[in-house]
């Protein structure tokens, strides 16, 4: 898993809800990587091929406000800015 898109959340409930919401985009979950946060948390992972689908669903259907989640593009264990 060299490259992926990652959502992290302020709450565990938001993580579980988002995973379900993004199932059509083959959402997966993993522990929040250590290089993002030392605290325990559920992150939702999206493969690059499903990125557009996931972003469209998330934009249209998620009711999370901007301070309730963060979105990352990860490549080889590094956060890319985009």
Partner 1 sequence: MRIDAIGKQCPIPVIMAKKELDAGVQDLEIIVDGQTQVDNLARLGDSVGRPVTAEAFEGKMLVKFANGETAKVEGDGSAMCATANDTYAVFFNKASVGSGDDELGLSLAKMAIFTLSESEKLPSYVLFMNGGVKLTTGIEPQIVENLQTMIDKGTKVLVCGTCLNFFGVKDELKVGTVSNMYDILGAMQEVGKVITL
Binding site for partner 1 (CB under 8 A): 1, 12, 15-16, 19, 26, 28-31, 42
Of 40 and 60, CB closest to partner 1:
40
Least CB distance to partner 1 at residue 45 (A): 9
CB 28 within 8 A of CB 45: yes
Query: What is residue 26's DSSP assignment?
Result: T
Least CB distance to partner 1 at residue 31 (A): 5
Calpha distance 35→17 (Å, rounded): 24
Least CB distance to partner 1 at residue 65 (A): 22
CB 80 within 8 A of CB 66: no
């Amino acid at each position: 898993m060299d490259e992926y898109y990652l959502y992290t959340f302020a709450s565990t409930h938001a993580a579980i809800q988002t995973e379900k919401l993004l199932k059509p985009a083959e959402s997966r979950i993993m522990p929040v990587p250590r290089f993002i946060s030392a605290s325990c948390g559920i992150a939702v992972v999206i493969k690059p091929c499903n990125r557009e689908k996931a972003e469209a669903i998330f934009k249209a259907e998620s009711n999370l406000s901007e301070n309730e989640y963060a979105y990352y593009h990860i490549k080889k264990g590094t956060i890319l800015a985009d």
